[in-house]
Chains A and B, each alone.
Chain A
Amino acid sequence: MPDLAAKKQRPLWYNLSPLNLPVPGLVSIFHRISGLALFLGLVAFLYFLDLSLASESGFARAGEYLRHPLGKVALVAVLWSFLHHLCAGVRHLFLDIQVGVELKAARRSAVAVFAVSLALTAFIGARLW
């Protein structure tokens, strides 16, 4: 008869590394990261709105900042954050009304969020560049 009590006390170690975060999980964490990025970017957004509306020279200066390579990189990053957050948010609204809650459909829509937001970012980003 094996000693069950002794067996129970053995430490357990679950190796979780073979488990990948599924695509809907990725959409979710990027929803959070992009939301935080947009919150942090709010002040820059207001700065540019202020500068561009204040005067003719301010408008020109805002344009210069945004045309600078670093400005363009920041602009594309903000653009992707916005588009991902928007697409993931729309997906959320559909899930709320019980549309696409099945595993297959939910995975497909999660892939669609990445596809649409990245494609739009590439398209608008290319035009801005």
Chain B
Amino acid sequence: MVNRVIVGAHYGLKDWLAQRVTAVVMLVYTVVFLSALPRAITHASWKALFAQEWMRLATFLFVASVLIHAWIGVRNIWMDYVKHTGLRLAAQIATILWLAGCAGWAMQILWRI
């Protein structure tokens, strides 16, 4: 038996794994969020939910997962359909900046409470 690396630098494996791990994090957050949701949603109870430190931290992990998960997914879409290299690069950079901006905004919303 010959042990040899047939494929490249395993970038794909990392992304594959990251996609699954972030998916599970988001799945767990969804269940936690739904069970933590107050029965009567008013402004006060809605705000109190996110004022809890653990909820902010959980939401932060969720947002971080969305960031990674959406990056891998959307990048794959660009790779599949945008054949022009420059255009694809521009789309990928725009996606990263957009997602980073969204994550920053989410943090601002949560820690402003």
Residues of A within 8 A of B (CB): 32, 35-36, 38-39, 42-43, 46, 49-50, 52-56, 59-60, 86, 89-90, 93, 96
Contacts and interface: CB of A to CB of B under 8 A. Distances in A.
A35 B105 contact: no
Interface string B2-34: 000000000000000000100110010010000
Interface of B: 20, 23-24, 27, 30, 42-43, 46-47, 50, 66, 70, 73-74, 77, 99, 102, 105-106, 109, 112-113
Q: Which label, helix, strand, loop or mixed, suits the secondary structure of the A interface?
A: helix
Given A49-B109, A90-B27, A43 B102 contact: yes
A49 B66 CA distance: 15
A108 B42 CA distance: 42
Contact of A53 (B27, B74, B77, B109): B109
